[in-house]
A and B are shown apart, each in its own frame.
Chain A
Amino acid sequence: MKRRSLLALLWTPATALRAQPRVAPLNEAGYRKLVTAGRGQVLLVDFWATWCQPCRAELPLLVRLEAKYRGQGLKLVTISCDEPEQEGDAARFLRQHGVPGPLRIKRPANDDQFISSVDAAWSGALPALFLYDRLGRRVRSLIGETDMAALEAALRKVL
């Protein structure tokens, strides 16, 4: 009986951790901070959502791309645009595809302002990829389904 209680104690926190993803909500200031912190690396920011089929199809390819160019300074940052109800699914999807870290999720006070602050020409459509050079300057925006060859070519130029 004692042993069972001990097991229960050991088991519960781990289960709770698995059930509740570490969520990092991002507003405009948080996004700016993230881009600033990425200086010195080439940052590929992927806005995605669980409901977005092309996003789900692309994410594993982006993970592979990061693995290929990590040594040259590429860092992939994923930001989910899911509703709070989908946070669990989003975290699970990232885990399945080996994306480490917390679940970064877009949670600005004003969605319009946030989207415009990332790129004034972006409608908010997904998938949306933004490529930043080592100085933290946005050098490329890819909106809609990504042409992976074109992305890799753009990456090579920046790297």
Chain B
Amino acid sequence: MAAAALWAASLPAQEFTLGSKVGDFGLRDVKGAPVAFEKLKGRVTVIGFIATQCPISNDYNERMKALYTDYSPRGVRFVFINSNHTEPAAEVEEHAGKNGFPFPVYKDDNNVVADRFGAQLTPEVFVLDAGGVIRYHGAIDDSRVAARIKAHHLRKSLDALLAGQSVAPADTRAFGCTIKRVKKTS
């Protein structure tokens, strides 16, 4: 219990939780231009925290492209975010180009957005409904190895939301690399 308290105390303050409405937040595109989340969101919105150097996140590159290709025509918007202070915008741009991402990846300066979502890992996803309420949080699916996937969590949650149904499970355990946060003094 004491250990749990210690770990909880070391977490940054989380503002958005499952079932709560996500307020606006700011990102930057890879050229440094500010972008407001309000301009990016859609009928259903996927917010995905990803990385350039994390091998687990990179294992999902093709799956993220497939998700984008399959669900964008159905009105789902994808907002991929890199919050790692160790991965600068130029690296994010190069990584996206090298991997043929059909979607932009935004930078989250000082991991402010990751803190507000309580995101800890890459990859880690949040799905918002039309009202901006978080309806799913967690992993994209249940295996790093595509051949061993048994549960397509993100696809299932998107299908449910697009069909006007509730999402189950709404919360799964994301797995991957820790987000490399800036050290904050206060």
Contacts and interface: CB of A to CB of B under 8 A. Distances in A.
A139 B7 contact: no
A144 B3 contact: no
Interface in B36-84: 53, 55-56
A121 B121 contact: no
A125 B121 CA distance: 7
Contact of B3 (A83, A121, A124, A126): A121
A123 interface: yes
Contact residues of B: prevailing secondary structure: mixed
Given A138-B3, A140-B3, A141-B6, A124 B173 contact: yes
Interface residues of B, number: 21
A74 B131 CA distance: 53
Given A123-B120, A126-B178, A144-B178, A112 B173 contact: yes
B18 to A, nearest CB: 14
A28 to B, nearest CB: 15
B71 to A, nearest CB: 26
Interface string A54-88: 10000000000000000000000000000101000
B4 interface: yes
B56 to A, nearest CB: 7
Contacts, number: 52
B174 A123 contact: yes
Contacts of B2: 139
Interface string A122-152: 1111100010000000111101110000000
A38 to B, nearest CB: 16
B178 A125 contact: yes
Given A51-B55, A125-B120, A125-B121, A119 B4 contact: yes
B145 A85 contact: yes
Contacts of A141: 3-4, 6-7
Contacts of A126: 177-178
Contacts of A140: 3, 6
A158 interface: no
A145 B86 CA distance: 13
A142 to B, nearest CB: 8
Contacts of A52: 177
A130 B53 CA distance: 26
Those 7 A-B pairs whose CB atoms lie nearest each other, nearest first: A51-B55, A121-B4, A141-B3, A121-B7, A144-B178, A125-B178, A112-B173
29 contacts: A51-B55, A51-B56, A51-B177, A53-B53, A54-B178, A83-B145, A85-B145, A111-B173, A112-B172, A119-B4, A120-B4, A122-B7, A123-B121, A123-B173, A124-B174, A125-B120, A125-B176, A125-B177, A125-B178, A126-B178, A139-B2, A139-B3, A140-B3, A140-B6, A141-B3, A141-B4, A141-B6, A143-B7, A143-B178
